[in-house]
Amino acid sequence: MTSRLRIASAQLNPVVGDIPGNLEKARAARAEAARLGADLVVLPELFLLGYPAEDLILKPAALSACREAVEALARDDGPALIAGAPWAEDGKRYNAAILIDRGRIEAVRFKRELPNYAVFDEKRVFDAGPEAEPVLWRGVMLGLPICEDIWLQAAPRALAAKGAELFIVPNASPWRRSIEAERRAAFSRWADLKIPMVWVNQAGGQDELCFDGASFCWDAHGAEVQRLPGFEEAVGVSDWSRTNKGWICEAAQRAPVVEGLEADWRAMALGLRDYVQKNGFPGVVLGMSGGVDSALSAAVAADALGPEKVWAVMMPSQYTSRHSFEDAESCARLIGARYDVIDVQPAIEAFGAVLKDALAGTAPDTTEENIQSRVRGVALMALSNKFGPMVLSTGNKSEMAVGYATLYGDMNGGYNALKDVYKTEVYALARWRNQPGAWTGKGRKGRVIPERIIDKAPSAELRPGQTDQDSLPPYETLDAILQALVEREESPAEIAARGYDADTVARIENMLYRAEYKRRQAPPGVKIGAKNFGRDRRYPVTNAFRAARRPQKESD
C-alpha cells in the first residue's frame, strides 16, 4: 500500500479543438512531472479537446480523436496521469476524467453535475454520469469529482461514504472578480468530511472566458497548503504522506493570490493575448483617439503582446482637438507602440458629397456623427486586411450597455479587452497601471497613460464642444444604475428607492434594452465581472418589456 505520493498539478492552457497540440502539451507536462519525481500528474478538465468546446462535443470525429489521444498517452511511459476528455460510451457523451497508469487505462469517471447557468451550457452537449465512485489506485482510494461536482455536496459526500481518502479534482473554472470567495464558500460546504483535495485548474483565454489557473491543495481541515501562480501555465508538485489521521501534505509551493485591479488587468491581457495568438494574428491595430478607452486598450495590448505588436492610429476629423493629437501621440510613445496619423476628413467630406441630394433639407444629427465613426472603422479594417493585424475595438461596458457606440464604426474589431469594464473602472485601471509596481507583462514599466488623458472630460469629438455627459448622466451615476440593472437584475423601482432619479433610471433601462441589437453584433471580450454581455446575459433583441413604463422620446 502506497504511503507517500508526489502529485504534479499541471495547470495548462489548451487550444480548443487542437487535439494534437494539446496532446503534446500533456506529454511535455508529464515529462516535466517525471523529472520532478512525481507519481501522478493531473491535467485540467476536458484538456485534450479544450474547454469550453461547445458544439464540438457533438462531432463524433472530435470524440474519436480525443479517445485516440487518450490511448496514445496510455502507450507512453511516465508517471500515472489523470487526463480530461469527452468520452463516448453506450450512445452517450460524458465529461470524463481518465486515470492512466503503467501502459493502460485504469479507470474512467464521469462528471455528474452538469452546470447549465451563466456562461455554462453543458447539459446541451453532455449526459450526466452515474453516482460518483472512488478509484482504488496503488492502495489509495481516490475520489475524482470533476469541477462542478465539488461545487455541490452530493458527489463529495457519496465519495466519502464509499471510502475516498483524497479528492483529485480536474477543473476548467472560469475567472471572475468574485471567484476566490465563491470557491471557498462552495467547497467549505463539505469541509466536515475532512478529506484533503488537489484542485487543478485550466489557465488561459478562450473567447470570452479567462481561466486563472491558481491551482491549489487543501488539507483535511480546509487550509490551503499549495497554490500555483495565477494567470499563467505552471507545473507544481505537492508531497503527501499517509498517517493515522489521513493524508497530509508535507511540502508544496505557495504562490501569492492575484487579486484586485491586478487580477482585472491580467485577465484582460491574458484573454486578449490568447485570442490574438490562438487565432493566428500577428498583432493588433486600433484607433488612438487621445481618450482614456483607447489609451487603456493600447496599454493592455502592449502588456499582453509586446509593444512591437501594437499599432496605434490617430484618425483626425475637423472636430479633433489639438490636445487629442498631443495626448494620442504621447500615449503611443510611452507605450512603445507604432503610431501613425491618417487624415479621414477627406473621406468624411466625400460621403457628404455622395449623400448631399439624399439628405437635402435635413439638419445634421447623429447620422453625420456616425459617418465619421464608420469612416474610421473602414480605415482600420483596410489596414487589417492589407497587413494582417486584428482590429481591436476600444468601447467600454458603460457605452455598450446604453448603445453609445456606432455599429460598423467604433464597434469594428475582432476583440474588445474593455468589453466587461465600466467607464469608472476604466479610470481606476488606468491609474493603477501607471503606478511603479504595477504588473506589466511584456509591456513597459511605469507610467504609460498621460495624466491629461485620465483627467479630461470624455468626448467622442464628433461635433463642436461635445462631451459624453451631453447625452448621458455622470458615469458614477450611470455605472451604479447599470450595475444594478445588469449584474443584480434589480427593478427601476428598487434602484430609485436608493435615491436615484426615477426618470433617469427608466431612461437608462430603456437604452439598455434598445441597444441589445448592437451588442449581438459586437466583438467578444473577456469576462471580468459577475455578468458580461455575451454568454452570461441572453436577452431577446426584439423585446417590448420595460419594468419602468414612461413615454419614449425620440432622443432615447
For residue 459, the model assigns a pLDDT of 66
Same domain, 216 and 327: no
For residue 465, the model assigns a pLDDT of 66
Average pLDDT over residues 269-296: 97
Residue 549 — pLDDT band, cuts 50, 70, 90?
A: low
Which of these ranges, 400-409, 495-504, 537-546, has the smallest mean pLDDT?
A: 537-546
**Is residue 179 situated within a structural domain?**
yes
**Is residue 32 situated within a structural domain?**
yes
Most confident of the following: 364-368, 440-444, 532-536 = 440-444
* Distance, CA of 139 to CA of 141 (rounded, Å): 7
Same domain, 285 and 234: no
pLDDT digits (tens, 9 = 90+) for 204-251: 999 999 999 999 999 999 999 999 999 999 999 999 999 988 899 998
For residue 535, the model assigns a pLDDT of 85
Same domain, 236 and 275: no
Same domain, 381 and 455: yes
Same domain, 347 and 386: yes
pLDDT digits (tens, 9 = 90+) for 353-375: 999 999 999 999 989 999 999 99
Same domain, 36 and 149: yes
Residue 466 — pLDDT band, cuts 50, 70, 90?
A: low
pLDDT digits (tens, 9 = 90+) for 310-339: 999 999 988 888 888 999 999 999 999 999
**Is residue 508 situated within a structural domain?**
no
Residue 508 burial class via C-beta count within 10 angstroms: exposed 0-12, middle 13-18, buried 19 and up: buried
Instruction: Assign residue 79 the CATH number of its domain.
Output: 3.60.110.10
Provide the grid cell at 273. 493575448
Which domain range does residue 337 map to? 261-469
Three-state DSSP class for residue 503: helix
Residues in Cβ contact with 81 at an 8 Å cutoff, skipping those fewer than 6 apart: 26, 30, 40, 41, 42, 43, 73, 99, 100, 101
Same domain, 203 and 283: no
Instruction: State which of 196, 231, 252 marks the end of a domain.
Output: 252
User: What is the average pLDDT value for the chain, to the nearest integer?
Assistant: 93
Same domain, 206 and 296: no
**Cell 468546446 found at:** 53
Same domain, 295 and 239: no
For residue 462, the model assigns a pLDDT of 62
**Is residue 339 situated within a structural domain?**
yes
Q: Examine the pLDDT at 1 and tell me if it is beyond 80.
A: no
**Is residue 333 situated within a structural domain?**
yes
* Distance, CA of 263 to CA of 265 (rounded, Å): 5
**Is residue 10 situated within a structural domain?**
yes
Average pLDDT over residues 27-45: 97
For residue 536, the model assigns a pLDDT of 86
Instruction: Assign residue 450 the CATH number of its domain.
Output: 3.40.50.620
Instruction: State which of 440, 469, 498 marks the end of a domain.
Output: 469
Provide the grid cell at 144. 475524482
Same domain, 209 and 309: no
User: Structurally, how many domains does the chain consist of?
Assistant: 2
**Is residue 526 situated within a structural domain?**
no
Same domain, 281 and 186: no
Same domain, 228 and 293: no
pLDDT digits (tens, 9 = 90+) for 377-395: 999 999 999 999 999 999 9
* Distance, CA of 217 to CA of 265 (rounded, Å): 26
For residue 554, the model assigns a pLDDT of 43
**Catalytic center residues:** 45, 111, 147
**Is residue 457 situated within a structural domain?**
yes
Q: Could you tell me if 82 and 97 are in contact, meaning their C-beta atoms sit under 8 angstroms apart?
A: yes
The one-letter code for the residue type at 493 is: A
The one-letter code for the residue type at 521 is: Q
Instruction: State which of 252, 272, 304 marks the end of a domain.
Output: 252
